[in-house]
A = this chain, B = another copy of it.
Amino acid sequence: MKKLTFLFILILNHLVVFAQQKMLSVDEVVMKQRSSLAPERLAQLQWIPQSNQFTYIGKKEGKEVLIVEKAETLVKDTLLTIDEFSMVVRNLLKNEKPITKFPAITWINTSAFRFLYNNSCYFFDLNGKTISLLASAPKEAEDLDFEPLTNKLAYTINNNLFVNVNGKPEDVPVITTDGQVVNKKDMITNDGTYGIVNGKAVHRNEFGINKGTFFSPKGTRIAYYKLYEGMVPDYKLMEINSNDSNHKNLTRPTSFQSIKYPMAGNKSHEAHVYIYDFARKRNLEVVTTGDAEQYLTNIAWSLNEDYLYIAIVNRAQNEMTMNMYDGTTGVFIKTLFTETHPKYVEPEKPMVFLKSDPNKFIWFSERDGYNHLYLYNHKGELLNQLTKGKNAVTDIIGFDPKGTFLIYNATSEDGLSKIAYKLDLKTLKSIAINGLEGQHNTLVNDEGTYALDQLSSTSIPRRVTLFDTKGRELSLLLNAKNPIGDYKSCNIKIFSIPSTDKLVKLNCRMILPPGFDSTKKYPVIVYVYGGPHAQMITNNWLGGADMWLYMMAQQGYITFTLDNRGSMNRGLEFENAIHRHFGKIEMEDQLAGVSYLKNQKYIDPTRLGVFGWSFGGFMSTGLMTKTPETFKVGVAGGAVIDWRMYEIMYTERYMDSPQENPDGYADADLTNYAKNLKGRLLLIHGTNDNVVLWQHTLTFLKKCVDEGVQADYFVYPGHEHNVLGPDRVHLMKKITIYFKDFL
């Protein structure tokens, strides 16, 4: 018996050893890095409003259950099983299939939550285990936005705005002559068409704009965008007909879908803001005078609904004017303050009014060189700069009801960690309330007394704790195991190197192959993004790397990434160093990384590869053509080639217009460098890319052909800017094969 146990242990050990030899596959890293190969999490972790209770989705006997815990007592309870939830829903909605996963739920109080299901919003009463309909939209609806005080659901269909206030809409939606499916009763606008868009995000989602509807705080009105874009040129996306493999239908020629695409320097669209008053059933335009092509950003309501605020940015993007309008009439009242910068201003967060003192608001600004908080009164008078330092405040996550402190997230000075701070609003002292280094995602209860901390770092897959906002840890809720512990292990190093001009430190991440031997020579794949609004390297699980980079390291490549100037969370100067010269300082910084690599004896300098997508495609194509002796192999996906063909909002912020900055555009136009290409370069594009148009890489290829230069190409028919879904496996295999073939 004993012998047998010993043998069994031996076998077990052997299995463990064998297991630790496991190699990641492309299928695994693409399909599982956000599911079974991600660190375990507490799904839908959140506080119940006005309480010290938090909830999350757990599992019992393999099925989802809704769990509640009380912060004071640490008592844990099962509130609802998925089977119970499913039964209740199916009692109301006949013909529904059993539900096996909770939809996203929003807590109302300790005994009720609401959720969206099939475009309807439902109220779930935990006491009676009953549900009722709050508001509903037709299945064609998009841009759903729910107002919880008055149970209104805003939505759009075919560029018109609707708001449902009665629950279930009319059974048979009206189909108008131009094919629109609408619910007349809910209709707020009726001028929507190709070229006139109501209730959707505008300005191509720049300036933090991610929606087009803004309910007033009490739900009596709704502000929304109306966008005129008839003057913007059309771009046609190819729709390759789906193949009818049973040959029953005739095949038709490729058809085309038009989109409006405003290119840098060209005519832009024109945004307006309207307010609809539900009591008066009346639309009124907010009187935003000024250049028709200006940007209407960061819409906010005063808490009493009396005023609407819009941060207006001029087309040149060097001046922001914070305007106050009458929330009833839309009439302009006054400008609260302005911000200007010789390079650009970029407001991305609407003002936040203090519930404890509704005449004051907090404003995010980079005016001192880093993103910090500023306290204003309703007259637009600056009261205080609330935060300071060479780090960036990223968001406000909590207040105490008395207004004595607020809690916010900020990066560390090196940009790698994100930590929650408690700010005493009297002393203006901030104290970190998270302990360990890393990326903290902190949730504060309404009282500001308790917080949940979800921490990940290069050494911590995920650690979820309950603590009080004095910083005292109360309970360890989850300590996730290494989700790839069974696989061959790669060492991830995060460090910084000086830029060539010595002005800044540049964060780097290197993933070393298993059993790394510094006396050997390794090929390197440099993964690059390099554009603003992004940061590739964080003190997060895998160092922020896509697991594909880890997989390639397992297969013997050192994978390396450097966040060059232009990337975020390192301050304004670090970011705006790129102004008017996309690609210049970014590539200099990347080449500082290459120099560092070449100085390491374990690097084979003849086998460097580079890969990037979008701005990273611009960077990798640029590195392959502007410094053609550096990289042997490059892969550039969805690459910008000539910034004149990219959208106005993003491009003109950084590059000014082509008319104002012809040299900057010409320097950045990679078709001018196509002739230099020496290495193997694979360009990849989704045929239906509506962000970086297909035109970019086709233009580059045409120039390559003109110049007699060989490049490689692949397209993903029907895909937009990113190849997502199962086809991403195909994409990453294609890239893997390319590096294996040629690096």
Contact of A253 among B261, B703, B737 (CB under 8 A): B261
**Which residues from B are CB-within-8-Å of A695?**
240-241, 253-254
A323 to B254, CA, bound (A): 38
- Report the bound CA distance from A726 to B701 in whole Å: 15
A173 within 8 A of B: no
Given A698-B687, A701-B715, A734-B710, are A254 and B665 also a contact pair (CB < 8 Å)? no
Residue numbers in B under 8 Å from A253 (CB-CB): 233-235, 261, 263, 645, 693, 695
Contact of A672 with B by CB under 8 A:
yes
Bound Cα distance A716, B698 (Å): 8
In Å, the complex CA distance between A197 and B263 comes to 37
Q: Which residues of B contact A261 (CB under 8 A)?
A: 253
In this complex, which of A233, A240, A671, A718 has the most chain B Cβ atoms within 10 angstroms of its Cβ? A240
Distance, CA A243 to CA B666, complexed state (A): 11
The contact string, 1 if C-beta is below 8 Å from chain B, for chain A 694-736, is 1100110111111010101111111000000011011001100
CB distance from A408 to the nearest CB of B (A): 42
B-facing residues in A201-255 (Cβ within 8 Å): 233-236, 238, 240-241, 243, 245-248, 250-254
In the complex, the answer to whether A254 meets B693 with C-beta atoms within 8 Å is yes
A256 touches B256 (CB 8 A): yes
Residues of B within 8 A of A706 (CB): 727
Q: State how many angstroms separate the Cβ of A37 from the closest Cβ of chain B.
A: 19
List the B side residues contacting A238 at CB < 8 Å. 238, 698
- Minimum CB distance partner of A702 in chain B: B717
Q: Does A41 contact B (CB under 8 A)?
A: no
A501 interface residue, CB < 8 Å from B? no
Asked whether B245 lies within 8 Å of A672 as measured between CB atoms, the reply is yes
Give A723's nearest chain B residue, CB to CB: B705
Contact call B265/A250, Cβ cutoff below 8 A: yes
**Closest partner residue, chain B, to A726 (CB atom):** B708
A453 interfacial contact with B, CB 8 Å: no
A291 at interface, CB cutoff 8 A: no
CB within 8 A of A710: which of B234, B245, B693, B737? B737
Q: How far is the CB of A443 from chain B (nearest CB, A)?
A: 40
Provide the residues of chain B in CB contact with A241, threshold 8 Å. Answer: 695, 699
Nearest Cβ on chain B to A680's Cβ, whole angstroms: 9
Q: Which residue of B lies closest to A672 (CB)?
A: B245
Which residue in B235, B705, B715, B729 is a CB contact (below 8 Å) of A727? Answer: B705
Contacts of A734 in B (CB 8 A): 710
Is the beta-carbon distance between B710 and A712 smaller than 8 angstroms? Answer: no
Residues of B within 8 A of A441 (CB): none
Which chain B residues border A701 with CB–CB below 8 Å? 715, 717
Provide the bound-state CA to CA distance between A703 and B727, in Å: 11
Q: Is A644 an interface residue (CB 8 A)?
A: yes
CB <8 Å contact, A644 and B251: yes
Chain B residues positioned under 8 Å from A254 (CB to CB): 235-236, 693-695, 698
Bound state CA distance, A252 and B252, in angstroms?
Answer: 28
A254 to B737, CA, bound (A): 31
A377 within 8 A of B: no
Question: For the side of the interface on A, what is the size category?
Answer: 35 or more
CB-based contact B702/A671 at 8 Å: no
A669 at interface by CB-CB < 8 Å: yes
- Tell me, yes or no, whether A642 is within 8 Å of chain B by CB: yes
Question: Which residues of B lie under 8 Å from residue A693 when comparing CB positions?
Answer: 253-254
Q: What are the residues of chain B within 8 A of A702 when measuring CB–CB?
A: 240, 243, 717-718
Contact of A658 with B by CB under 8 A = yes
Which residues of the partner chain B approach A733 to less than 8 Å between Cβ atoms? 708, 710
> Does any Cβ of B come within 8 Å of A266's Cβ?
yes
- Contact residues in B for A714 (Cβ distance below 8 Å): 712-713
- Say whether A178 faces chain B, with CB atoms less than 8 Å apart: no
Contact yes or no, A263 B251, CB < 8 A: yes
A662 close to chain B: CB less than 8 A: yes
Distance in Å from the Cβ of A418 to the closest Cβ of chain B? 37
CB distance from A238 to the nearest CB of B (A): 8
Instruction: Please pick, from B252, B703, B713, the residue contacting A243 in the complex, using a CB distance under 8 A.
Output: B703
CA distance A351 to B268 in the complex (A): 63
Q: Does A741 contact B (CB under 8 A)?
A: yes
| A266: chain B residues within 8 A (beta carbon) | 250, 252
Minimal Cβ-Cβ distance residue in B for A714: B713
Contact indicator per residue, chain A 265-302, by CB within 8 Å of chain B (1) or not (0): 11000000000000000000000000000000000000
- Are A713 and B716 in touch, CB under 8 angstroms? no
Residues of B within 8 A of A699 (CB): 240-241, 243, 717
Contact with B along A108-139 (1 / 0, CB 8 A): 00000000000000000000000000000000
In angstroms, Cα B246 to Cα A704, docked, is 17
Of A705, A710, A734, chain B has the most CB atoms within 10 Å of the CB of A705
Residues on B with C-beta less than 8 A from A698 are 238, 240, 254, 687, 715, 717
Tell me the smallest distance from the CB of A694 to a CB of chain B, in Å. Answer: 8
Residues 320-364 of A contacting B (Cβ, < 8 Å)? none
Quote the shortest CB–CB distance from A17 to chain B (angstroms). 32
Q: What's the minimum C-beta distance from A647 to chain B, rounded to whole angstroms?
A: 11
| Complex contacts, A658 vs chain B, CB 8 Å | 247, 250
Docked complex Cα distance between A702 and B718 (Å) = 8
Shortest Cβ distance from A256 into B: residue: B236
Chain A 594-622, CB-CB to B under 8 Å as 1, else 0, gives 00000000000000000000000000000
CA A266 to CA B238, docked complex, whole Å: 21
Complex contacts, A717 vs chain B, CB 8 Å: 698-699, 701-702, 705
Chain B residues with CB under 8 A of A737: 710
Known contacts: A701-B717, A717-B702, A730-B705. The answer to whether A233 contacts B252 by CB under 8 A is yes
Known: A248-B662, A250-B644; 20 extra A-B contacts, CB below 8 A, are A233-B252, A234-B253, A235-B253, A236-B236, A238-B698, A241-B695, A243-B669, A243-B699, A245-B671, A245-B672, A247-B665, A250-B266, A251-B644, A253-B261, A253-B645, A254-B694, A698-B715, A702-B718, A708-B726, A710-B730
A-B contact pairs, 13 of them (CB 8 A): A233-B252, A235-B253, A241-B699, A243-B671, A245-B669, A245-B671, A247-B665, A248-B662, A250-B658, A251-B642, A701-B717, A708-B729, A712-B712
Residues in A lying within 8 Å of B, measured CB to CB = 233-236, 238, 240-241, 243, 245-248, 250-254, 256, 261, 263, 265-266, 642, 644-645, 658, 662, 665-666, 669, 671-672, 687, 693-695, 698-699, 701-706, 708, 710, 712-718, 726-727, 729-730, 733-734, 737, 741
